[in-house]
Structure 1
Amino acid sequence: MHQFNEHHPELKGVSAFYHTEIFPLLAARDGSRREAVRKTQLYGGAIAALAVIIIVVLAIMNVHFFIPILMGAGAGIAGVYHWQTRKIKALTKDNIVGGICRYIGWRFSAEVSDIPQLTLWSHLGLLPGGFVTGDKNAGSRASFEDEMQGEAHGAQFRSLEVHLERRGKNSYNTVMRGQMMTITFPRKFLGKTVVLRDKGFLQRKTRGDMKRVGLVDPVFERIFEAYSTDQVEARYLLTPDFMQKLVDLERSVNGSQIRFGFMQGQLLIVVETPNRYEAGSMFEPLTKPEPTQKILDEIGAVYDVIDAVLKPKPYPSNANT
């Protein structure tokens, strides 16, 4: 039996749960995975052979049209792979992510139940500007999937995957893909605090009604720039321990460019990531432990962030410096 890294009390026993509840479902579907791979290789081989025949015929006719044919063959093989494996990937994602969420009392759904209002997120600088939820005439569009939510140490956690696109000349172009996370705490914050990526000499002294906040640790000062309407509360929240937990969270989801903001009773987090929670290559067994461990690491990192906010710490006395 594989022993996962159960690095939080809430995750204790998840290894046994995996092998009794999740592993059998994955093992039962591994035959379908192998059959999908076999069909992909069969149909993909036929597409590749047809492409070679066409190229040879064109070469004999002294017609140089090779690259478009190779690109078309590649797209065709990729399409066959997607078509043959899509259902297996969806079920595998639900078995692994949904199973772990059930174990800790959370919920997971591939579809998002409540679309977030992007205006606030953009106003805080967490998302590119110009994205308005549901506005089809804005020249941009947003899609959401893979919603995870539940209670963690008295706070409410919600995460969903977002894909932002802006209309180009002939098509929509991806502006950002990543995770939007909302942590709602049992108490409200006194002010508004936003932490963005450092822009070097382009940093502002103010951002709207917020003033620049200096971070205690020089390492994080070089990575981030912080602004707040309440300097004392910002220094209370943005401790080196908390900042490290955010960096750890970014690493746990294989992400980049994490930024976040405290407002009223919520911590809003955005981290740019590739498409998350996917089953991975269908050329490997569904029962491989790595995807499950990645989910456990992410959940553990979320608990760390929440604990870093709730953990009592000395309140700064230098309110106006």
Structure 2
Amino acid sequence: MTKTDAQQDVLRARLAELPEDFAYFADVYESDLRPVLEAREAERKNALDSAKKNSVIGIAIVAIAAVIGFGVIKVGAVGIIGIIIGFIVAGWGYPKVNEIAKQTKEFLITPIAERLGLSYNSGASLKAEELLIQSRELKVVPGWDRKEVSDEFVGERNGVPFEFFEAHLEEKRTTRTSNGRTQTTWVTVFRGQCWVIEAPKTFHGTTRVSRDSGWFNALGAIGNRFSRAKLEDPVFEKAFEVYTTDQVESRYLLTPDVMETFLELERQFKGGKFRATFDGNRIYAAIEGGDLFEGGGMFSRIDDPERVGDLLTDIATVFHLVDVLGKK
């Protein structure tokens, strides 16, 4: 079996676990992605080899500077300067490797997203910023003092318009120490994924879903207009806290397959505190979890088909929630 055949087998095995409309990406990888990735892999390897050589030289400079500066001539300043130079040399070259890895991520995601009818932005558009603010107003994410929004996807899935992005939200906290000084720290209050899905109909009321009612209480999300929803399935009623302004509509929205999808996402993200709000003509959802769409680091091969498999798996995860909620 050739290397190419082995790569194809690896990717086809990954694609077999994804929706059927992902299957053709094995051919896309072979015809469009692999040739360019192999060239990028050669660049990464050369840059990494150069960075490793610099590391060896830098470590040698540190050792020699320490011996001469502190042992032979006993001039500490000489030793310190030499050590600093050594560390600079040791780290020289790794920024280039990181840049190649970053460029490769965008190179991979952009054409794959386009084939799926999506536009990709490694940062975030003004629209994503606006949707994040709306998500905060609807108590899907907490407030923040500092934010970072990334990996934005915009498009449609089976005719359902949606937007997806990742967000890292931090709160500034100031405390006073025992000696009377103030100390400022930044605390992460949310790191995860956000969806805004266009609903096929306008909702009459507002329905909020969370695994923990404490989340609503903390954000002041349970007002006088809301009452605890009475779901048809007691299993899901135990799993989620649901508050609504329209009891009939909430039961129509939160069918067992929808709730099972919510639970499935939590399992996938290892207990990610899923929450969602159905309001107006949109569904706002968020889950706490690690970053998606990373596809390996600078020490892993760029042309590894597992990178493509990981990326497609992440996109399929995004699509799954849209597929389920878009049925309504």
TM-score category, normalised to shorter length: 0.7 to 0.9
Task: Give the Cα separation in 2 of the matches to 1:79 and 1:223.
Answer: 52
Task: Give the Cα separation in 1 of the matches to 2:251 and 2:92.
Answer: 51
Query: Cα 1:59–1:231, aligned 2, differ >3 Å: closer, same or farther?
Result: farther
SS of the aligned residue for 1:207 comes to coil
What's the offset of the Cα at 1:192?
0.9
Q: Does the Cα contact within 8 Å between 1:161 and 1:178 map onto a contact in 2?
A: yes
Identity %: 30
Match of 1:116 among 129, 139, 142: 129
Number of residue-to-residue matches in the alignment: 294
Q: Does the Cα contact within 8 Å between 1:253 and 1:298 map onto a contact in 2?
A: no
Query: Cα 1:189–1:255, aligned 2, differ >3 Å: closer, same or farther?
Result: same
Structure with the greater alpha carbon radius of gyration = 2
Match of 1:143 among 148, 152, 160: 148
Equivalences for 1:75-224 in 2 at 5 Å?
81=94, 83-114=95-126, 115-117=128-130, 118-129=132-143, 131=144, 140-168=145-173, 169-170=183-184, 172-199=186-213, 207-208=222-223, 209-224=225-240
Unaligned runs of 5+ in 1: 64-69, 132-139, 313-321
Residue equivalent to 1:317: none
Task: Give the Cα separation in 1 of the matches to 2:249 and 2:87.
Answer: 55
Match of 2:25 among 14, 20, 37: 14
One-letter code aligned to 1:20? S
Residue-by-residue CA offset, 1:65-110 (whole Å, 9 max, x unaligned): xxxxx9xx999977863x1223212221122221221111111121
User: Under a length normalisation based on structure 2, what TM-score does the superposition of the two structures give?
Assistant: 0.75
The structure with the largest helix share of the pair is 2
- Report the RMSD for the aligned CA atoms in angstroms: 3.5
SS of the aligned residue for 2:129 comes to coil
Q: Does residue 5 in structure 1 map to residue 21 in structure 2?
A: no
Residue-by-residue CA offset, 1:267-301 (whole Å, 9 max, x unaligned): 11112222332232222211222332233223333
One-letter code aligned to 2:297? S
Query: Cα 1:158–1:284, aligned 2, differ >3 Å: closer, same or farther?
Result: same
Task: Give the Cα separation in 2 of the matches to 1:26 and 1:279.
Answer: 13
Match of 2:254 among 221, 226, 238: 238
Q: Does the Cα contact within 8 Å between 2:51 and 2:92 map onto a contact in 1?
A: no
Query: Cα 1:211–1:94, aligned 2, differ >3 Å: closer, same or farther?
Result: same
Q: Does the Cα contact within 8 Å between 2:295 and 2:310 map onto a contact in 1?
A: no
What's the offset of the Cα at 1:306?
3.0
What's the offset of the Cα at 1:121?
1.8
Match of 2:45 among 20, 25, 34: 34
Q: Does the Cα contact within 8 Å between 2:194 and 2:285 map onto a contact in 1?
A: yes
The answer to which of 208-217 and 225-234 deviates more is 208-217
Query: Cα 1:229–1:78, aligned 2, differ >3 Å: closer, same or farther?
Result: farther
What's the offset of the Cα at 1:241?
0.9
Query: Cα 1:268–1:202, aligned 2, differ >3 Å: closer, same or farther?
Result: closer
The answer to which of 222-231 and 1-10 deviates more is 1-10
What's the offset of the Cα at 1:244?
2.0
Task: Give the Cα separation in 2 of the matches to 1:227 and 1:103.
Answer: 39
User: Under a length normalisation based on structure 1, what TM-score does the superposition of the two structures give?
Assistant: 0.77
SS of the aligned residue for 2:204 comes to coil
Task: Give the Cα separation in 2 of the matches to 1:265 and 1:121.
Answer: 14
Residue-by-residue CA offset, 1:201-230 (whole Å, 9 max, x unaligned): 997998122212244445544443111111
